Structure 1
């Protein structure tokens, strides 16, 4: 009878936001034990698959990327205010890291992996992956991998994806430790500019532009569920938005300038039942743009009266991350 009672309470509590759960831990020892269990650390937030554990790094005495012996890496959960230091793998020669990715899916496991991309040897262009597992608390090492731009990667549904200008994206199966190239969408060329490349809600999205016209009209691509190819998810036309916010037009730009329109794509949010949208940062403002209705909503005015990108608060795409709470234990 007591087990049924606890199951009923657990099912009810699982539908509450994480801030309420943190307060309810103080109700009794029984509730504290129940809410602190593994069930609530990942299963309670089944309605979202956003990565809730961000990185933090700190250098001790140096800001140079080559001085990795003085760099500490942390996993931090802002909901519970808990953090854990990633143990160092030991001294490596060379010691240059080109990219670090957190691989974590709260719906599949309460454990996470951290993938480091570093130089394999001092005088070659080969790289090597070092993978830390929170489950085993051990490091593993991949075989040498090809030269690539590993500085900007995105984790989604068990794979880490990296972009390239060679006409393909590169994916890495974290569990099987295998690489595979995925063809980029039609229209991609070596001059394309990546406007957005991130995971959101368990979906990986890509936006790129090829010139002045394509900064007004462009497609939002989504990676297929099996991570095999890109497909067009949304079509965007910003003409009405630019008319509403003429400060998006850069007066000093020429017709061939690929930054002719001033905006940054901060997030793409797919909500089939509630309406999908993207969040844009334009000069001085953050706005949401509804894909279906092609309408916009002002989210925040950072600099009232600002009409030019220069002098306004500018948030770059790489500076923004989705945040959804979790009780995941670090």
Structure 2
């Protein structure tokens, strides 16, 4: 084959790919979000393709790992962006959300399977806040409408949770927790459906530990109850509640266990509880059972080597009765694609310790990525 013939063959292949949307989608869904935002400017065809609802569905269905973690800067509507793409936890960059002009800035409340739940950062009052659903891949957003029956003195918002599963539907629901109008001791749910463009209202529910830490997984929103002994599960489609007991953490001091982490990744809900009696150097990471009946210990965490490397993790001014000697925060549990068959080499936990974020490999016991 001569050089000219080779060039013509290569050009023909490129044109074949360039004009075939199905092939382009299969290639583009493998790219990180930053690249997709740039590639929207390649041509009108690419802009239309990457901005389409079909591409969003394909992209979200192909996601295995979360692509990044956002850490809010103190007292500012800006965030440290920690990329988890390929090489976890590189040096963070500082970002703001500028998809809409808001003088007070935009606050990120939650992410769910590729969509972000945001609100205006004003401090006038909860009832004045504007809530947004933002797709960072396509740079498109939707403003949530106000409930039509809002009273002149609206109830306080205690928590907002986004429920979105692109493998089931292109539509989402947003669950608001507000104080009840009937009694000061109860709360009620207000649910917005993007499919019906309507609000619905649930019956009163009891108080949980923190409505602001609701997690969506497997068709339901989950909250830890006020006594830290059980979980409240709300099926967003059937609008039914279910109680799920938490793992029994032994504690001779008869104190409530501390929730170190509660979140979802890859369709799995995870939980980390530590006891005030026992050392926080070693603990289990639990995974919810498929039938939602309880939990099992999925991963074992041993931080001894990590604490030896970073002695600043040990608190120097702990109270004698405070057994929580070690300073760290669990930012995320990232599940590898082989988790159904056992421990995946790519499954890891992201920790924030004084001054830095690091990763801990469940397979290798401890692995640090600067």
Q: Give the TM-score taking structure 1 as reference length.
A: 0.80
Q: Which residues of structure 1 form unaligned runs of 5+?
A: 300-330
Moved more, 45-54 or 263-272: 45-54
8 Å contact from structure 2 (residues 284, 301) kept in 1: yes
The 1-side partners of 2:163 and 2:200 are apart by 14
8 Å contact from structure 1 (residues 105, 112) kept in 2: yes
Are the structure 2 counterparts of residues 280 and 8 from structure 1 closer, same or farther at C-alpha, using a change threshold of 3 Å? Answer: closer
The 2-side partners of 1:79 and 1:44 are apart by 9
Q: How many residues align?
A: 294
**DSSP 3-state at the match of 1:253:** coil
**DSSP 3-state at the match of 2:367:** strand
* 1:174 and 2:236 matched: yes
Moved more, 277-286 or 16-25: 16-25
Deviation at 1:5, TM superposition (A): 4.4
Higher relative contact order (CA 8 A, sep 6+): 1
Q: 2:155 aligns with which of 78, 84, 95?
A: 95
Q: Give the TM-score taking structure 2 as reference length.
A: 0.72
8 Å contact from structure 2 (residues 33, 136) kept in 1: no
What residue number does 1:321 align with? none
The 2-side partners of 1:60 and 1:275 are apart by 40
8 Å contact from structure 1 (residues 94, 120) kept in 2: no
What residue number does 1:151 align with? 212
Q: What RMSD over aligned residues (CA atoms) do the two structures have, in Å?
A: 2.6
Deviation at 1:28, TM superposition (A): 4.2
For residues 175-202 of structure 1, what are the alpha-carbon distances to aligned partners after superposition, in whole Å with 9 as ceiling and x for unaligned? 1100000011121675111111111232
The 2-side partners of 1:245 and 1:204 are apart by 29
* 1:160 and 2:229 matched: no
The 2-side partners of 1:5 and 1:85 are apart by 34
8 Å contact from structure 2 (residues 285, 298) kept in 1: yes
* Equivalence map 1:179-328=2 (5 Å): 179-187=241-249, 191-211=256-276, 213-271=278-336, 272=338, 273-299=344-370
What residue number does 1:76 align with? 134
Are the structure 2 counterparts of residues 179 and 252 from structure 1 closer, same or farther at C-alpha, using a change threshold of 3 Å? Answer: same
Runs of 4 or more off by more than 6 Å in structure 1? none
